[in-house]
Amino acid sequence: MFSRDTWQEIFLTIRKNKLRTVLSGFTVSLGILIFVGLVGMTNGLQNTFEFFFSQDATNVIYIFPGRTSVPYKGYKSLRQIEFENDDLTDIKEDFSMFVEYISPRIFRSALVKYKEESNNYTTIGVDWGQQFAEKTIMMKGRYINQEDVKNRTKNVVIGRLVEQDLFGTMNSMGKFIDVGGSVFKVVGVFQDDGGDNEERQLYMAYTTRQLIEKNTDKIGQIVIGFKEELGYTGAMVFQRSLEKYLKDKKFISPDDENGFFVRNVADQLKQNQDFAGVLAIIAALVAFGTIIAGIIGISNIMVYVVKERTKEIGIRKAIGATPRSVISVILLESIFITTISGFLGMIIGMALLSTLGDKLMDDYFILNPGIGTGLAISATLVLILFGSLAGYIPAKRAARIKPIEALNDE
Amino acid sequence: MIEIKDLHKSYKMGSNSLHVLKGINFSVEAGELVAIMGSSGSGKSTLLNIIGMLDEADEGEYDLDGIPIKNLNETKAANYRNKFLGFIFQSFNLINYKTALENVALPLYYQKMPRKQRQEKAMKYLEQVGLKEWSHHLPSELSGGQKQRVAIARAMVAEPKVLLADELTGALDSTTSYEVMELIQKINDQGNTILVVTHETDIAQMCKRIVYLRDGVIIKDEKVKQVRAKAHV
């Protein structure tokens, strides 16, 4: 069955019937190509989700102040809620089993000057924990620490691009800059994967910011890093009891959703993962459909091929071809064509995906699309298997028909 | 060489059955050139198909060179056809994407003969039918007569016991027909047994014996004085 002669016969048939070969090969290549492309793009989309969430810590809850919408306990509605220093210490104490770190965020825009250079930047008053929430990476020096907060030092940590803007190629470490009228010493330079905006920010101790603003104790937003071992359910429990606790403390009605707002990164991550999961299922269904369509395509072509060759089969049988040899030649030809073109389609698809990289990131949110080699090969093998099966059935029928009937077939 | 006793064959056509061969008794010696004559529907093609193991009889006996041909499975029938019989068809039935040489060599491929030997032998037979120079041409590049001669070479190449020709001149003009018949006579002169089915009297007259078939029975079986085709060419 696998003799050199058989293969020579098959190659000859393939060479002499180029249209037929190209037609069936093209169907298989296209099927695999679409499959690989589709799965690759879905993977790219999931990569993007992961990329977005990898920039900041996922075990973080943000609390933003708002305005009440219902009157409660003698307070009017539309009351502006503000957080203060003792809110930080109270949460830290009462939720000590959940909280890993806690930090305020006081956003202020300020004109920053160094010698001739000046520019407007966002400054953020923080505690040391903020570094972990934002996943800030220190390039030089250090982040704001507990000493800075305790002593209200005039130290500042600047973003990579702030240094570039103000100092050019010079080193900013230890230099003094003017931030909104006060002089600060640069103690660190950071970078952040979050993008250019985040690298055009400055961090200072929140207590220093409060001192500048007439020694107030307002703290803007609250960032709480909770212990990672809480998991998703733990985080949700923590969020609910924290909400209840704060509503109670700030005299906000239990039904009032506008007193403050909570952003739970763990919850958002879960939702996005669920969304990506559904997307993956849909893509898998479509990809599966593509494979089915490919199988149907190759089956149709095989039926046509065998039909076209009925007379030839009759001639071969009349001069002594056994049913086995008829089947094996047709089958090997179909396996050969599907294998070559299947793997060709697979390789083209994978090569195309690998050239894309992050080119589709900005417009289509597809990052590093790709497909597991194992999955691609399995899909190709499935198509080859069914392509052969699709060839086998008409080949067997052709081998069984009486030569005299096949000869009369025009 | 061929021994046929009380052969019956009928075809089912829906609820009716059409009795095509109604008890044929017939034998052929080695080296004979026999024409089977009859109008269409007389059963001559059915008889040839049964002799050629392309079809099977319902009843009766058929021995080919002492071998009983009965209840053959597909594979065995294919092997017998390959070794014992050579076919020549009205519509030539060459494989259109293979060259003349490849067409002639095909029966030897099914005998699993090595490629080189196969081609040498095929070339020898192509030379015998006078088409050595055309060996690498496709059937589409050959004339009707040339195609039929390639088919004859293909039928001869496996050195079969019997050559079966079904209306072999049916698609050819009379001059070409006589040329082909001349080749058939030459092959017969070398001692080969040949059966020719035809409805043309002049072709039948070029054989050594004529069997007349009508409505599934042999009505006449006579030896004739052979007309040499060469005289007409």
pLDDT of residue A409: 65
Q: Is B190 exposed, middle or buried (0-12, 13-18, 19+ CB in 10 A)?
A: exposed
If asked whether residues A155 and A282 sit together in one domain, one would say: no
Residue A63 is predicted with a pLDDT of 93
Q: Verify whether the Cβ–Cβ distance A407 to B82 is below 8 Å.
A: no
* Contact check, Cβ <8 Å, B110/A318: no
Q: Which of B78, B87, B109 sits opposite A5 (nearest CB)?
A: B109
Domain end point (choices A192, A227, A258) = A258
Backbone CA torsion sign across A348, A350, A351, A355: positive
Q: What is the homologous superfamily of the domain B29-59+70-232 according to CATH?
A: P-loop containing nucleotide triphosphate hydrolases (3.40.50.300)
Cβ of B107 within 8 Å of Cβ of A317? The answer is no
Collect all residues of chain A within an 8 Å Cβ-Cβ radius of residue B44. Answer: none
Q: Sign of torsion, CA B107 B113 B116 B117?
A: negative
**Selected residue of B74, B79, B92 to mutate for chain A interface (largest A Cβ count, 10 A):** B74
CB contacts of B79 in chain A (<8 Å) are 320, 322
A9/B94 touch (CB, cutoff 8 Å), yes or no:
no
Chain A CB contacts of B111 under 8 Å are: 320
Each of the 410 residues of chain A gets a pLDDT tens digit; together they read: 456 777 877 887 788 778 878 888 888 888 889 888 888 888 888 888 878 777 777 889 999 999 999 888 888 888 999 999 999 999 989 998 889 999 999 999 999 999 888 999 999 999 999 998 888 889 999 999 999 999 999 999 999 999 999 998 889 999 999 999 899 999 999 998 777 788 899 999 999 999 998 888 899 999 999 988 888 888 899 999 999 999 999 899 988 888 899 988 888 888 888 888 888 888 888 888 888 888 888 788 778 878 888 888 888 988 888 888 888 888 888 888 888 989 999 999 999 888 887 777 777 777 778 888 888 888 889 888 887 887 788 888 878 877 777 777 65
**What confidence score (pLDDT) does residue A376 get?**
86
Strands (E) across A33-83 are located at: 60-65
Bridging pattern class, strands A182-191 and A155-159 = parallel
Interface of A with B (CB under 8 A): 5, 8-9, 12-13, 16-17, 311-312, 314-325, 399-400, 402-404, 407
- Identify which of B54, B97, B106 has the shortest CB distance to residue A16: B97
- The chain B residues in contact with chain A (CB within 8 A) are 49, 52, 54-55, 74-75, 78-79, 81-83, 87, 89, 93-95, 97-98, 102, 106-107, 109-112, 115, 154, 158
Picking from A3, A312, A316, A319 by the largest number of B CB atoms within 10 A of its own CB, the best residue to mutate is A319
Last residue of some domain: A203, A223, A258? A258
Domain residue limits at A111? 67-258
The whole-angstrom separation of Cα A326 and Cα A329 is: 6
Contact A387, A336 (CB under 8 A): no
Q: How far apart are CA A257 and CA A135, in angstroms?
A: 30
Read off the pLDDT band of B204 (50, 70, 90).
very high
Structure-token pair, residue A103? 């930090």
Whether residues A25 and A47 fall in one domain: yes
Contact A298, A24 (CB under 8 A): yes
Q: Are residues A282 and A223 in the same domain?
A: no
User: Across the interface, do A13 and B154 touch by the CB < 8 Å criterion?
Assistant: no
- Residue B233: per-residue pLDDT: 64
Cβ-contact A292, A87 below 8 angstroms: no
Tell whether A284 and A390 lie within a shared domain. Answer: yes
Q: Show residues of chain A in contact with B107, CB under 8 Å.
A: 319-320
Q: CA A127 to CA A221: how far, in whole Å?
A: 12
Residues of A in contact with B150 (CB under 8 A): none
List b or e across B3-28, with b for residues whose CB sees 16 or more CB atoms inside 10 angstroms.
bbeebebbeeeeeeeeebbeebebeb
Same domain, A388 and A327: yes
Selecting from A312, A317, A403 the residue whose C-beta is nearest the C-beta of B95 gives: A312
Instruction: Report pLDDT digits (tens) over B12-51.
Output: 878 888 888 999 998 999 999 999 998 888 888 889 889 9
A232 and A127: one domain?
Answer: yes
What DSSP line would sit under B179-231, residue for residue?
Answer: HHHHHHHHHHHTT-EEEEEES-HHHHHTSSEEEEEETTEEEEEEE-PPPPGGG
Is residue A311 in a domain?
Answer: yes
Q: Are residues A131 and A184 in the same domain?
A: yes
Instruction: Please give the tally of structural domains in chain A.
Output: 2
Pairing of strands A221-226, A117-126: unpaired
Under 8 Å CB pairs connecting chains A and B tally to: 66
Contact B54 A403 (CB under 8 A): yes
Query: Which residues share a beta bridge with B221?
Result: B211
Work out the pLDDT band at B3, boundaries 50, 70, 90: very high
B98 contact residues in A (CB cutoff 8 A)? 12, 16
In a domain, A263, yes or no: no
A393 falls within a domain: yes
ipTM (interface pTM):
0.89
Q: Do A321 and B94 touch (CB under 8 A)?
A: no
- Residues of B whose CB is below 8 A from A318: 52, 54, 81, 87, 93
At residue B15, what are phi and psi to the nearest 5 degrees? -85, -25
Min Cα distance A321 → chain B (Å) is 6
Q: Please, which residues bridge with residue B3 across strands?
A: B27, B63
Task: Name the residue among A12, A16, A402 with its Cβ closest to that of B54.
Answer: A402
Measured between CA atoms, how close is B87 to chain A, in angstroms?
7
Nearest to B81 among A312, A318, A402 (CB): A318
> Which member of A16, A323, A407 has the closest CB to residue B89?
A407
Is residue A168 one of the residues assigned to a domain? yes
Q: Give every CB contact of residue A308 below 8 A, 6+ residues apart in sequence.
A: A20
Is A318 within 8 Å of B52 when comparing Cβ atoms? yes
Sign of CA dihedral A13, A16, A20, A25: positive
- The answer to whether A319 contacts B115, with C-beta atoms less than 8 Å apart, is no
Boundary-marking domain end, from A258, A291, A322: A258
Question: Contact A323/B78, CB-based, under 8 Å?
Answer: yes
Could you tell me if residue A61 is inside a domain?
Answer: no
Quick one: A23 and A75 in the same domain? no
* Same-domain status, A253 and A342: no
- Asked whether residue A151 falls in the same domain as residue A293, the answer is no
Question: Do A334 and A377 lie in a common domain?
Answer: yes
Shortest alpha-carbon distance between residue B5 and chain A (Å): 23
Q: Indicate yes or no: CB of B87 within 8 angstroms of CB of A322.
A: no
Task: Report how far residue B56's alpha carbon sits from residue A297's, in angstroms, rounded to the nearest whole number.
Answer: 38
One domain for residues A74 and A195: yes
What is the gyration radius of the CA atoms in chain A, in angstroms? 34
Bridge-based pairing state of the strands A99-114 and A155-159: unpaired
Domain boundaries, chain B: 29-59+70-232
| Residue A171 belongs to some domain of the structure | yes
For residue A35, report the phi and psi dihedrals to the nearest 5 degrees.
-60, -50
For the stretch A160-200, pLDDT in tens is 999 999 998 889 999 999 999 899 999 999 998 777 788 89
Tell if the CB–CB gap between B55 and A402 is shorter than 8 Å.
yes
